[in-house]
Amino acid sequence: MSDVHSEQLLAEVAALPSMPGVYRYFDSAGGVLYVGKARNLKKRVSSYFQKNHGGTRIGHMIGKIARMETTVVRSEAEALLLENNLIKTLKPRYNILFRDDKSYPYLKITGTRERDGTDGLAAGSVPRLAYYRGATDRRHRYFGPYPSAWAVKETIQQLQKVFRLRTCEDTVYANRTRPCLLYQIKRCTGPCVGHIEPQAYADDVADAEAFLRGDTQQVLAELEGRMMAHAEKLEFEQAAELRNRMSALSKVLHQQSVEIASDKDVDILAVKVQGGKACVNLAMVRGGRHLGDRAYFPAHVEDAALVAQAEAEDGGPGAGAEVETVEQQVLEAFIAQHYIDSPAPPTLVLGETVGRELIEAIAQQAGQRTTAVFQPRAQRRLWLEMAQKNADIQLARLLAEEGSQQARTRALVDALELAPDDLDSFRIECFDISHTAGEATQASCVVFEHHAMQNREYRRYNIEGITPGDDYAAMRQVLQRRYGKIAEAIAAEADAPPPGDAAGADAPPGTVGARMPDLVLVDGGKGQVSMAREVFAELGLPLSLIVGVEKGEGRKVGLEELVFADGREKVYLGRDSAALMLVAQIRDEAHRFAITGMRAKRAKVRVGGSQLEEIPGIGPKRRARLLQRFGGIRGVAAASVEDIASVDGIAFDLAEEIYRALH
């Protein structure tokens, strides 16, 4: 392989030190191909360039290497952490990569680190329960992380039933003159109006914290002691109240049914690999309670597995030992990448064996001792079996969905009699126009490729300089803006000298590789398609790419017809057609994207609570809750997504929609 690499690169390889470190391979365009670690940089990197890998995928990767970067570290643990930090940052093509997920949610109890009892029942000194995402600080107590927002809210409801702590915002709390509904239904003790003594409320907070830490027997003993003290004083009403709390707490513990004194914080990890795809299922136990699980699906599994196998055979990390299975490689990649950002709990129950140095590295990262269990027994075994079953189910669901989506792509290609070079890279771009009586006109462009919507490639276009409400002019403008430069690039590329000609070196940047989509969908009938045809004719682009989605009789779903710009007759695919399902999916996504953009733009120039009711899913009741919680529309606009989601009846997805609409 050395004959395809520059002398400078080979000289750099020969000069590498025999020390631990991390190496990065780059292609000629500067893209990152692979990030790896080594106990001995010189030996590991040299092996890539000394062996002929032929026409394999590994050989293909090595043939692309144009330059290399290395970093020397003090130990293999440091190399492991640096390697996975770089993988998450650089996203190489030949490494197993887990997509960055949203930060995990926490349950927050406010103000507990600064309580001194001197402020009586003022809002700042009365802790409250809250759902929270984001960076933590020392002023509050945080419990978690939790695998989902649902798990946090479920826990808050349980704490309200047992300990009756407040959940209202400080602004609401400070302006109460009488107790709210939560007090009436025995979900709060009413500290806002002095219905509980400060010390009694502080005791409830302490019990709630002990419960979240898993010290449930301590909490039950504390409640029992307080109950008996009241009974001895003949305060039977207070004693009965504590008895009811103990009963509610026992019921919660019975529902969880997985409490083990020695296992308060545990992560359970199971992995399943099938059909070139993989799933890692992470289940969480916090405070002795099973909080649920979350599935992760890595990218580049097949390519990364081949590279890892070649490394082991060539004397890389793990040389001389049994070659790791794909399941082990996937699980190790997840552990290394996941626990860089999220501290590892004291115990990991794993479905596959992983290297000792990996566990030591994440323990060092977390600043505490971490134990890995590979052959669990008793309750731990049940947890792992449950996680493994969920991994199997989630991967089967993913494969079924991908198979269905691929079938839809194939059905559409066949229905339109197209012949793409590669079905997996078949690209569709769809446009829609949205406005309200001509106000805040926006066009949306959504992208479908690799059998899925590519939301990172979505674009919105503010439409200006047209007659308000003129959808045809808006469509003309967005198509010209979207494809004008691409058409110029295609023309420049066609006029460019052939490869190897010296004049080709002066070609303007960005002209090579310009690519039109394989299909352009327009949400509209003959009028919109005619406008698109005019634009494409002016730009010199193929008219056969344009397809309009015309609504059927009565605008009923399933009766849509496809209108073509190149003169073909309209086509009705059929209500149950897989091709029509794909077209409808893409068209609806373009409509949704245009609507949310238009509403957000319009909200910038409007004020008042009516903004909220214009958001789908927000009716009078939810609007009233939001305005009451935040004191008005300005308060809602200033709130974060997490704060909005903490309002009763507002799911996290709806909170994101509200935030986008107001920003």
Cα–Cα nearest to 395, from 225, 542, 270, 242: 270
**Would you say 112 and 151 are in contact if contact means Cβ atoms under 8 Å apart?**
no
Query: What pLDDT, on a 0 to 100 scale, did the predictor assign at position 445?
Result: 92
pLDDT band at 609 (very low <50, low <70, confident <90, very high): very low
Query: Does residue 286 sit in the same domain as residue 249?
Result: no
Listed in sequence order, the residues at least 6 apart from 497 whose beta carbon sits closer than 8 Å to its beta carbon are 503, 504
| Residue 136 in domain | yes
Query: Does residue 154 sit in the same domain as residue 202?
Result: yes
| Residue 67 in domain | yes
For residues 58 and 307, give the distance between their C-alpha atoms in angstroms, rounded to a whole number: 6
Query: Does residue 125 sit in the same domain as residue 48?
Result: no
3 state SS of 295: strand
**Would you say 273 and 330 are in contact if contact means Cβ atoms under 8 Å apart?**
yes
- Number of domains into which the chain is organized: 4
* DSSP, res 504: G
Query: Does residue 285 sit in the same domain as residue 351?
Result: yes
Total Cβ atoms within 10 A of residue 71: 16
145-178 confidence digits (pLDDT tens): 888 888 888 888 888 888 889 998 888 888 888 8
Does position 306 have pLDDT exceeding 70, yes or no?
A: yes
* Secondary structure, 3-state, 442-488: EEEEEEEECCEECHHHCEEEECCCCCCCCHHHHHHHHHHHHHHHHHH
Query: Does residue 285 sit in the same domain as residue 246?
Result: no
For residues 112 and 85, give the distance between their C-alpha atoms in angstroms, rounded to a whole number: 34
Considering 590, 605, 620, which residue would you say is the last residue of a domain?
A: 605
**Would you say 150 and 292 are in contact if contact means Cβ atoms under 8 Å apart?**
yes
396-426 confidence digits (pLDDT tens): 888 887 788 888 898 898 888 887 878 888 9
555-592 confidence digits (pLDDT tens): 666 678 888 988 888 888 877 788 888 998 899 899 88
Q: For 377-381, 455-459, 609-613, which range has the lowest pLDDT when averaged over its residues?
A: 609-613
Total Cβ atoms within 10 A of residue 131: 21
Can you read off the two tokens belonging to residue 253? 């513990």
- CATH code of residue 86: 3.40.1440.10
Kindly compute the dihedral angle of the four CA atoms of residues 31, 36, 38, 40, in this order, to the nearest 10 degrees. Answer: -20
* DSSP, res 186: T
Can you read off the two tokens belonging to residue 506? 């002066």
For residues 95 and 307, give the distance between their C-alpha atoms in angstroms, rounded to a whole number: 8
Supply the Cα-derived Rg of the chain in whole angstroms: 30
φ and ψ at residue 7, rounded to 5 degrees: -65, -35
The string of DSSP codes covering 519-584 is: EEEEESSHHHHHHHHHHHHHHT--GGGEEEEE--GGG-TT--EEEETTSPPPB---TT-HHHHHHH
| Residue 502 in domain | no
Query: What pLDDT, on a 0 to 100 scale, did the predictor assign at position 304?
Result: 79
φ and ψ at residue 239, rounded to 5 degrees: -65, -40
Can you read off the two tokens belonging to residue 497? 């000298």
For residues 479 and 445, give the distance between their C-alpha atoms in angstroms, rounded to a whole number: 10
Query: Does residue 246 sit in the same domain as residue 273?
Result: no
Does position 662 have pLDDT exceeding 90, yes or no?
A: no
Dihedral of CA 355/358/360/366: which sign? negative
pLDDT band at 3 (very low <50, low <70, confident <90, very high): low
Query: What pLDDT, on a 0 to 100 scale, did the predictor assign at position 586?
Result: 92
Query: What pLDDT, on a 0 to 100 scale, did the predictor assign at position 628?
Result: 75
Tell me what the pLDDT averaged over the chain comes to.
81
Query: Does residue 250 sit in the same domain as residue 283?
Result: no
Does position 605 have pLDDT exceeding 50, yes or no?
A: no
For residues 239 and 284, give the distance between their C-alpha atoms in angstroms, rounded to a whole number: 36
3 state SS of 273: strand
Query: Does residue 435 sit in the same domain as residue 569?
Result: yes
Distances (CA, A) of 178 to 102, 250, 378: 39, 31, 51
Q: Which amino acid, residue 113?
A: R
Does position 118 have pLDDT exceeding 70, yes or no?
A: no
Query: Does residue 575 sit in the same domain as residue 597?
Result: yes
For residues 85 and 88, give the distance between their C-alpha atoms in angstroms, rounded to a whole number: 5
Cα–Cα nearest to 181, from 619, 617, 625, 612: 625
* Secondary structure, 3-state, 346-413: CEEEECCCCCHHHHHHHHHHHCCCCEEECCCCHHHHHHHHHHHHHHHHHHHHHHHHHHHHHHHHHHHH
Distances (CA, A) of 84 to 36, 69, 71, 103, 561: 9, 15, 13, 18, 49
Query: What pLDDT, on a 0 to 100 scale, did the predictor assign at position 634?
Result: 74
| Residue 106 in domain | no
Percentage of the chain with pLDDT > 90? Answer: 14
| Residue 101 in domain | no
Can you read off the two tokens belonging to residue 359? 């566990």
Considering 256, 280, 309, which residue would you say is the last residue of a domain?
A: 256
Cα–Cα nearest to 475, from 489, 461, 456, 455: 461
For residues 587 and 564, give the distance between their C-alpha atoms in angstroms, rounded to a whole number: 16
- Give the mean pLDDT of 264-289: 88
- Give the mean pLDDT of 178-203: 88
Cα–Cα nearest to 116, from 108, 106, 127: 127
| Domain limits for position 590 | 423-494+512-605
Considering 237, 256, 275, which residue would you say is the last residue of a domain?
A: 256
Query: Does residue 42 sit in the same domain as residue 152?
Result: no
**Would you say 620 and 628 are in contact if contact means Cβ atoms under 8 Å apart?**
no
Listed in sequence order, the residues at least 6 apart from 9 whose beta carbon sits closer than 8 Å to its beta carbon are 65, 66, 67, 68
Does position 274 have pLDDT exceeding 50, yes or no?
A: yes
Long-range contacts at 538-543 (CB < 8 A, ≥ 24 apart): 539/480, 539/483, 539/484, 539/487, 540/487, 540/491, 541/483, 541/487, 541/516, 542/516
Query: Does residue 274 sit in the same domain as residue 244?
Result: no
The string of DSSP codes covering 97-136 is: BPPPPPPPPEEEETTGGG--STTTT-GGGS--EEEE-S--
| Residue 621 in domain | no
Query: What pLDDT, on a 0 to 100 scale, did the predictor assign at position 428?
Result: 94
Query: Does residue 217 sit in the same domain as residue 162?
Result: yes
36-54 confidence digits (pLDDT tens): 888 888 888 888 887 766 6
Query: Which comes out higher in pLDDT, residue 138 or 92?
Result: 92
Distances (CA, A) of 382 to 85, 232, 263, 387, 531: 33, 44, 13, 9, 62
For residues 126 and 169, give the distance between their C-alpha atoms in angstroms, rounded to a whole number: 11
Highest mean pLDDT among 108-122, 253-267, 357-371, 523-537: 523-537
Which residue is associated with the tokens 């001194």?
A: 116
| Residue 456 in domain | yes
466-523 confidence digits (pLDDT tens): 887 788 898 999 999 999 888 888 777 666 555 444 434 444 433 334 578 999 999 8
3 state SS of 642: helix
216-264 confidence digits (pLDDT tens): 777 777 777 778 887 887 878 778 877 777 777 766 555 454 444 456 7
59-84 confidence digits (pLDDT tens): 788 888 888 999 998 887 788 888 88
| Residue 242 in domain | yes
- CATH code of residue 556: 3.30.420.340
State the pTM of this model.
Answer: 0.62
φ and ψ at residue 626, rounded to 5 degrees: -65, -45
For residues 172 and 190, give the distance between their C-alpha atoms in angstroms, rounded to a whole number: 13
- Give the mean pLDDT of 183-203: 88
Percentage of the chain with pLDDT > 70? Answer: 84
For residues 180 and 173, give the distance between their C-alpha atoms in angstroms, rounded to a whole number: 10
Cα–Cα nearest to 75, from 35, 25, 37, 43: 37
